[in-house]
Amino acid sequence: MSLMQRPTYIERPKDGDYVMRFTGLTWSVLRRTGEDGAFILSTGHRDRKAALLQVRSLTERDRSDGWEPDGPNLFRQVTRFRT
Of residues 49, 62, 50, the one with CA closest to residue 16: 62
Cβ atoms of 30 and 38 closer than 8 Å: yes
Determine the pLDDT at residue 26: 93
- pLDDT digit string (tens) for the chain, length 83 residues: 556 678 899 999 999 999 999 988 999 999 998 877 888 888 888 999 999 999 999 999 999 999 999 988 899 999 998 76
Q: What is the tally of structural domains in the chain?
A: 1
Structural domain including 45 reads: 9-79
List beta partners, residue 29: 20, 42
Please check whether residue 2 lies inside any domain of the structure.
no
Burial of 82 (C-beta count, 10 Å sphere; 0-12/13-18/19+): middle
